[in-house]
Every structure is written in C-alpha cells, then in structure tokens.
Amino acid sequence: MPEATVSALQLGASADTAATLERILGYEDEIRASGTDLLVLPEAVLGGYPRGELSGDGFTRYFEQAVDLPGPELEALAGLSARTGASVVAGVVERAGSTLYCTAVFLDPVTGFTARHRKLVPTMRERLVWGRGDGSTLPVVATAAGLAGAALCWENYMPLLRAAMYAKGVRVWCAPTVDDREVWRATMRHIAAEGRCFVVSACPYESEGDDPIAGGSLIAGPSGDVLAGPLLGAEGLVTARIDLDETVSSRAQLDVSGHYARPDVFSLSVDETPRPGVRFHGG
C-alpha cells in the first residue's frame, strides 16, 4: 500500500516577509523528524493577508513585502524542500509587474519551483489589492504524497472549480486559507468526502491585533473523517500518515467525475487559455 505523510504548518504572517520566512525555516528539524512528504503552508503566508490601509503608502508597503516568482524567497523555500525531502505547497502574495496575486506555489525537493495557482476570485477586501487568476494556472502536481492540487480559501466554495480538480485526479487537496471558522472545517471534510481525496487545510494562527485568527488547521481523509487537528490557539505542525490506496477504494462508492457523473445531463467546460492583459502580435 503506498503510504505517505502530509502536514500543515500553522503559523501567522508578520508584516515583514523576511521575518516570516525565518520562522518557517525554523521548523526544518521538526518537518524532517516528522517524515513529511508534503507540507502545506497557509494562504498569503509570505506577503501577508491584506489588512489596514489598502491605498496610497499602505499599498506601497504591502507591495514591497510581496514576492517574485522566481525570487529569493522561493529559493529559500525550495532549499527547505530539498533539505527535508518534502514537497511544499505555500500560499504567497505574488508580485507580477505592478499587480499582486494570491498564489499557491508548488515546490519539489529535486526540481524546486514547479507550478503556481493564482486565486481565481479574490473575496471582498482582497479585491482592492489582488488581481484575478485565469484558467492557465490550475495544475495538479506529482508529489511523494500523490497528485496534489490547490484551492485558496473561499475558492473551495466554487463547485465548478472543485469539479475541474476532481476530474484531474487530485488525490491530495491542499487548502491554504485564513478562514478559522468551524464551518470551514466542515467544508474541508465535505470536500474530502465529495472528492474521495485527502484534504490538508493550513490556516494561520495570529493572536495579536484587531483581527486575530485562531487557526484550525486539519487533515481529513476520503470518507470525511478528521485524521489530525484541528489545531486551535497555537502555532505548530499538524501531521498525518495517509494510505493513498484509500483514494482508489473509496471511489468504488462515489466517483463524481466518473461513474457518479451524468455527462448526458450535465457538462463542464474549462478554459485553460492564458489571459494576459496585453498581447503582442508580429514584430
């Protein structure tokens, strides 16, 4: 039976990206000791979730804390991946030109930065500072813990996005988030049961300020059962050993993109064409 260890690292983002990165790297020994094959970090853990003044000098300061892909921060995370042997899925604020994106990056222990997923629909105040991703960044990536995909925070409430990812054969669903509500944890269990996959939800823990985040990172199995967590009120690593064969055997009952689908009644078309703001032709 193919087994693997998956983990969520629950920690908050400081206003200084370099300081947050150092705190992540400080978990290297614990990650290695856990035997983690796939590590998931919270949404916007590098760059920070948008708070406070989001215009003028406030936006400039926020923009300066974002990361480039590739860039030195990604190189540091790739080094962590290489040294621990763990694939890493991390939520970052990506700087691309003059636009910021909420992005999940995929890092491999051997090849480093391999793929990205940009959040398709920023929510509420996020829309003031984050651009919208397109269908060209919906990867499913091979890891030591199986095929992994990512949906960021409230993207997990998009039924058609979930259907597209299920159809790509995702076996480990990575959910970087800042949502610490109990109903979020119920959503994670629902996705695990619906997609017959393992779900790793990584949420920050931030106790200071006017908008604290309690955490709640967890790992759920293909029947919707909680395998580890939720971790509340503390920073730390949430870890579970998983059996990937469960994602196969459990789909004998329910395979929403296979025998439980009705393509004669319902259909989904996914446009994965890149949609840049400017296209140059000829020249």
Q: What is the 3-state secondary structure (H, E, C) of the chain?
A: CCEEEEEEEECCCCCCHHHHHHHHHCCHHHHHHHCCCEEECCCCCECCCCCCCCCCHHHHHHHHCCECCCCHHHHHHHHHHHHHCCEEEEEEEEEECCEEEEEEEEEECCCEEEEEEECCCCCHHHHHCECCCCCCCCCCEEECCEEEEECCHHHHHCHHHHHHHHHCCCCEEEEECCCCCHHHHHHHHHHHHHHCCEEEEECCCECCCCCCECEEEEEECCCCCEEEEEEECCCEEEEEEEECCHHHHHHHCCCCCCCCCCCCCCCCCCCCCCCCCCCCCCC
237 is written with which tokens?
A: 């690593």
pLDDT at 4 over 60: yes
Comparing 53 with 113, the larger pLDDT belongs to 113
Chain centre distance of CA 126: 16
- Interval 151-176: pLDDT, tens: 999 999 999 999 999 999 999 999 99
Which tens digits make up the pLDDT trace of 185-214?
999 999 999 999 999 999 999 988 788 999
pLDDT of residue 53: 75
For position 52, what pLDDT does the model report?
A: 77
Q: What's the pLDDT at 209?
A: 78
CA dist 150 and 204 (Å) reads: 17
Distance CA 112, CA 108 (A): 5
* pLDDT value for 6: 98
Q: What is the pLDDT of residues 208-233, one digit of tens each?
A: 878 899 999 999 999 999 999 999 99
- Tokens 């840049």: give the residue: 276
Distance CA(54)–CA(106), nearest Å, equals 28
**Which of 230, 221, 229 is closest to 194 using CA atoms?**
221
Q: What is the share, in percent, of the chain residues with pLDDT greater than 70?
A: 100
Task: Just list the catalytic residues.
Answer: 43, 119, 153
What is the C-alpha separation between 138 and 272, in angstroms, rounded?
Answer: 8
Q: Who wins on pLDDT, 25 or 51?
A: 25
Residue 36 in this model has a pLDDT that exceeds 80: yes
Q: What is the Cα–Cα distance from 172 to 254, expressed in whole angstroms? A: 16
**Over residues 70-93, mean pLDDT:** 97
Q: Tell me the pLDDT tens digit for each residue of 51-64.
A: 877 778 899 999 99
